[in-house]
Structure 1
């Protein structure tokens, strides 16, 4: 599937301007589409902040929104997008996935696709509650854009992330079913998913905000020792702490995205 390359204003990407976003991860090609309650749009050119990186120029940035309400009260709520923030906030989990990887929440299919591209991943099971989202991603052919051997790893099932259990225990759990990024009650929910799937390692969307908020409550600096203490409290085998600059990444993400109270 080919798309015409957008024209990027030169002033945006010269020294002193925002860099062009060009990560070494797979980004599917999307096209505008609308269903009964969901729609996907593509912005040719956007300026977007990263999760722990700065503002960047993003081309062909896709956004998935949910239509809610009716008539004059109808509106759109952004559910997922291909911004640097969304990608960086899931990238560590996708890269570290191994064996049978369970992805809670299909979204735009990005996380499942990138997990399937990892050589050490043998199978990817995606659990999605909404059949319309499943149909939308299938119609867009997101997984068909992958190499055949990666596509063959992926199975999408309709189910409830809080109740679903696999026939084969999971090695990795990747969970992204929430709005907003920084929300309450997430750790207990992920603990339940982990118990149901048997996963030996976990990455969930917004985990850095949970760690940053707890460090703030404890009055501790975001360093390796603090992160280790908080992860132990969470009682989850989190992906992330093994990364040498993880505390610094958390601090940079929290500076931009942590909810201020």
Structure 2
């Protein structure tokens, strides 16, 4: 199959319109068309792909990898959603559009990102009823404490898809928040590599046990096809980043 024969990426989730912009070290760029692999879906072409970059590295983009790696949290969001890391504002905007969501609080520590969003006006693209749910605060994900009940915590503050110590970092955040549910970026890979390190199969039982061992109220493991997605993501994206001493299962 040649590139012109590949399908264009489509999602029923809201994706804002972005425009090129620079603030401090951050550079928001638009690419007319690019071939991208999904988090679990096959490669597809993306029209008008927006990417937020810093130091030549992409921190967030409107690729299928980025959207699919957050969509479980977005599609199952309800009540008060707390997001650590503003990024391009996609997850917050998509959550706000859900009728089950009553409020979205976004915590961002980088002043340049906050300044970029003042002109980017992502949330101005939402209808009034959704836009009014969103509140952005300047703060640190590791120190921010909840002043009201949080139904879902969605941390996304990391550059690499996999990083050592991520589970412990999410536990630190959750200790201050005590959310009813947690969905953190890259959690499928964390579940997979902890399961492999414990010599457990990446199947529904193994995934459920590893989620419980993380001592976090993870959103995802109760979904009927979640173990299959965890395995698919691990096969595509682990790339040798298993925990030390692990015999890779694939």
Partner of 2:141: 161
Partner of 2:160: 180
User: Is the 8 Å Cα contact of residues 182 and 259 (structure 1) preserved in structure 2?
Assistant: no
Return the match for 1:193 from 173, 179, 185: 173
Separation of aligned partners in 2, 1:22 and 1:12: 16
The equivalences for 1:72-151 within 5 A come to: 76-151=56-131
Q: What is the Cα-based RMSD across aligned positions, in Å? A: 1.4
Separation of aligned partners in 1, 2:67 and 2:45: 14
SS of structure 2 residue aligned to 1:47: strand
Partner of 1:46: 34
- Please report how far the alpha carbon of residue 131 of structure 1 lies from its aligned counterpart in structure 2 after TM superposition: 1.4
Separation of aligned partners in 2, 1:191 and 1:259: 25
Q: Tell me how many residue pairs correspond in the alignment.
A: 241
> Is 1:28 the counterpart of 2:16 in the alignment?
yes
Partner of 2:235: 255
Q: What are the ranges of 5 or more consecutive residues in structure 1 without an aligned counterpart?
A: 1-10, 68-75
Separation of aligned partners in 1, 2:149 and 2:239: 35
Task: Map Cα deviations across residues 25-52 of structure 1 (whole Å, 9 max, x no partner).
Answer: 0111001111221110000100000000
- Please report how far the alpha carbon of residue 166 of structure 1 lies from its aligned counterpart in structure 2 after TM superposition: 2.2
User: Is the 8 Å Cα contact of residues 49 and 84 (structure 1) preserved in structure 2?
Assistant: yes
User: Is the 8 Å Cα contact of residues 141 and 173 (structure 2) preserved in structure 1?
Assistant: yes
Q: What are the ranges of 5 or more consecutive residues in structure 2 without an aligned counterpart?
A: 242-250
User: Is the 8 Å Cα contact of residues 23 and 115 (structure 2) preserved in structure 1?
Assistant: no
User: Is the 8 Å Cα contact of residues 122 and 153 (structure 1) preserved in structure 2?
Assistant: yes
SS of structure 2 residue aligned to 1:204: coil
Partner of 1:66: 54
SS of structure 1 residue aligned to 2:172: helix
Partner of 1:236: 216
SS of structure 1 residue aligned to 2:190: helix
Partner of 2:203: 223
What's the TM-score once normalised by structure 1's chain length?
0.89
- Please report how far the alpha carbon of residue 218 of structure 1 lies from its aligned counterpart in structure 2 after TM superposition: 2.3
- Please report how far the alpha carbon of residue 12 of structure 1 lies from its aligned counterpart in structure 2 after TM superposition: 4.0
